[in-house]
Amino acid sequence: MCNLLDPGVLQREIDEETISRNLPPELEYACRYWVDHLECSERSIEDGDATHCFLEKHLLHWLEAMSLLNETSLCVRLLARLQALAMPSDSVVAKFLHDAVRFVLRFVLILAEAPLQIYSLALLFSPESSSVRKVFIEQVL
């Protein structure tokens, strides 16, 4: 995202024009409010459904985008709200969301400062049993 090449680039070093060019208002809105829309649909999240598939493919992309938008702290609350929608509570997706909350809590300060570290440091230093790590470990930079 934003064609960032250096995994150590700091969020404050990325100019606003680059961010707005790569994260247009529509995408910005979607990143911030997709959970609100999902809640309003009154649908639960179940194993293998569209939301579960989205999370297993794009969770790190979403976290990177939220970091670029200076919204990293919001991610924990949004993931917790998603976790409440996961049915049954012992499902694969519920466990994945529980782990995603722990993952973000553990690395929130790093993610806020250096968006691309989600693909390296955060994954590498996650517990080997982490479902987030297992799903995304091949994306390590």
DSSP states of the chain? -TT---TT--GGGS-HHHHHHHS-HHHHHHHHHHHHHHHHTT--B-TTSHHHHHHHHHHHHHHHHHHHTT-HHHHHHHHHHHHHHBSSTTSHHHHHHHHHHHHHHHHHHHHHH-GGGGGTHHHHTS-TT-HHHHHHGGG--
For the chain, the domains span 11-139
pLDDT in tens, 70-80: 999 999 999 99
Residue 141 has pLDDT above 70, yes or no: no
Q: What is the predicted pLDDT for the residue at 35?
A: 98
pLDDT in tens, 85-96: 999 999 999 999
pLDDT in tens, 107-140: 999 999 999 999 999 999 999 999 999 999 998 8
